[in-house]
Amino acid sequence: MRGLIGQKLGMTQFWREDGEVVPVTVIQGGPCVITQIKTEERDGYSSVQLGYKDKKESRETQPQIGHFKKANTSPKYFVHEFRDLEVGDKKEGDAVDVDMFEVGDQVTVSGTSKGRGFAGVMKRHNFHGGRASHGKSDQLRAGGSIGASSDPSRVWKGKKMAGRFGGKRASVRNLEVVAVDVENHIVMVKGAVPGPNKGFVELLDRG
């Protein structure tokens, strides 16, 4: 399994050699530093912790500074742990880059979706809305009935209602790697990925 931390730069178009135009998301993939390697014998499971983008020591806590110094690297803004990641003969402090991916690979991209604040049921849950006819002047975008009054005399937990929308972890699977630029640490994937521009994302190829 291969994985990498990156930063979403935005979307554009990519022309394939056969002339087909595909929408792509441009991701600055690394270089990431291996900040910790966990093993079955010592930690009970195997994983690799990657760090991305340098951070000033003045903006980091002392325990975290010590953690990064063990790997002979500077503090990082974004740290993520990948289970069963293949790093070959690399060790803590070594870098991994986009050269692990090839054109045609299918990757899963995860990130934090855009926060849209408080939203109604039509925007948040794709409700149809009320009929705008027969003298109905309000309640056009309301959610309708949320439960009976006498029994159960309450609103069921998990009822789809208005509330805070977005700002949650989201993943998009099976995105095709369209282009890889090792020199500039760029990887392009077909389609859209979660989060705003400059948002951190994780790329994962389970092989």
Q: Are strands 95-96 and 76-83 parallel, antiparallel or unpaired?
A: unpaired
Q: Are 29 and 203 spatial neighbours (Cβ–Cβ below 8 Å)? A: yes
What length is written for the chain? 207
Q: What is the pLDDT of residue 138?
A: 83
Q: CA-CA distance, 41 to 39, in Å (whole number)?
A: 5
Query: Residue 105 corresponds to which tokens in the numbers above?
Result: 């690979």
Tokens representing residue 163 in the block: 């509330």
Name the average pLDDT for the chain: 91
Classify domain 2-145+154-205 at the CATH class level.
mainly beta
Contact between 2 and 205 under an 8 Å Cβ cutoff? The reply is: yes
Model confidence, pTM = 0.83
Give the tens place of pLDDT for each residue, 90-136.
888 888 999 889 998 999 999 999 999 999 999 999 999 888 888 88
pLDDT score of 137: 81
Residue 85 amino acid letter = L
What are the extents of the domains in the chain? 2-145+154-205
Tell whether the model's pLDDT for residue 149 goes beyond 90: no
Average pLDDT over residues 150-164: 92
